[in-house]
Structure 1
């Protein structure tokens, strides 16, 4: 479904943004100005490269889903793993962005429908947006919500610059873990998983194929895929700065978050209403509520398309879309009964793990095509270390002693890198033999 480039950009931006550049940035700001460094470097050298290349490879492969593209470059075994892993991640995303906004709306309306009433309303919207063609609902609503999210970020930026706020500086002595419990939440790797969508996120690789099917010409790929990620990084920077400045400093942010159950939704609501006034309240509804909902619906949409790709199941008739969609919604609804914090933590780790696999796939593509592969190899190695160390340290993981986790994480990273190079050597040899034959 060809769409105007500006509309594709805004849909892509809203698809990938969700709660990430707001909630993730606020939670990441609790570590201090180190968050600024990760957002900038992560966005430019990891996230934007990841989003651009995954989107363009999908476009070059007739709009294939990311799991199928992984199969092309990393083989059938990893493709089967990625099919399952990606669908599970998307269901996590849909669940997180079902309960999260429902909690926010319930708080804003003083329990008018109750939490489960709003969950039902959002779920009904998800059903419609997942089943209807992209030009019927998504292409009409998303540009409005995307613009609202950008205006909210611009408003916060202007208030920070011209208001009586002091943003902590990015100087060497501030590049330390400023959380109130630094021993329990080490800067590495926790920060690099906490701030995901504002720096790099595997979820984006599931969304880029949706927009690759809507581009009129591949020359617009850089402005859409790379541009949307850089825009999201800027939004994350603004929210991280606002969180540190609004509560006076990083210590004040940590203190207030602790008093309110580390609820990033509360902090986002306080910041937008107090820094932007009544106008901020309207933008808060559109930005803080609509953004996660519009990521949740495209998560289910992506899951439906991936499952249809796997089984080669035609999706032209709405009844056939229902056959795939309804089980996905049923699973997500069951998951809403689990503690939201647990679902969020597993989503965060699996999200970064997916990004890591995609980076390795992109590296394989660049090597085989004799292109500049280090632009993805370096972030692939770094993110492998992040994900392996995180699952060893984290409460939902193996809860290992930190030094041991770092050593084992380095060993895992080395082994994965070695296996990758052996695979590439084998694939290049096979390609050479085939070419010679």
Structure 2
């Protein structure tokens, strides 16, 4: 009988891509992969430590695994495992904790899956995480997350990612293209590029700090991979998103008009305290450049509320800055204290209730922004890639510019692209549609 292993991923697209790579390693070793909701002999939890909520959720996930099988071997990997391995090892039921350099060698650390009396820890000094492991994840049959870069050399005062993942380093261009070709061969229609700081692509590609290739080189090379209909750029720093890249995406057949660009604050005072590498003036220029070349482009924004020193005036400056900006939606993060960051010792702590109030205001603004963007697209003809889930009798899909649509469930639509016309926004915030022509991609 094959041993069964299940996986749970907390956090970002990058974590999902790495979980998939780790899981393929288990299958190669003779394990059977099952869903996390099933009884398994081993559970692997890929952790995140961007917020304290991700920290807290770990214990809940461990309990869920124990409820499925009290004798199951439980392993923790990922960012939280690197930052606080002893803390995770002390959680009841955890048998193995692996840091940043060990997680891809997890099968080397397991023997007969017997439970340990105490959590066993194998972690490294983060300075040792200076090599690159390529990854990609196929979440469903329509979209894949392709890791192109890892680590970060930025020193943002609120962030633990450099401590959890190490220095900025990149996959070799040849490897990225090979992975993209592998994904295409599996019938996947869309690739989402992911990493910690993907605009820094090229640094560390051959084990040195020199840029052998740039992010634009990567984008141009991927544009030529056969069999991929869509390429989507995930989060990219505004100072690293160059006009040449914007121009190329605007004229590309494969890259879609959708960017996700972290802002974090609309107050220059707070941006300086955060040690971000730009001010609001540069951010405004980037948005204007995108919209001048791609008026229908979808632009998502990350923003943090409640950073130490953020006054009511600073927050309102952020609110009005975002309100006046031609963007499409927000990802709002409530600031949470992270050990070993400069921000923890900064004065001007914002009370939790104030942070929550500010977060609620920006989430409301995001709803308004998304609806305004959707309304601007009504009546237009776009292409939709349909996903694989039956959601209450409907099948959902995304247009190239990230408008989420729905139509009555039809399994033959899964992983197909259709030209459609956007009709109206439903009560659930999704857009109804009409088919304009026959299926254009089987």
Same fold (TM over 0.5): no
- In terms of fraction of residues, the more strand-rich structure is 2
The two structures have a TM-score, normalised by structure 2, of 0.25
Instruction: Indicate the structure with greater helix content.
Output: 1
- The one of the two structures with greater contact order (alpha-carbon pairs below 8 A, sep at least 6) is 1
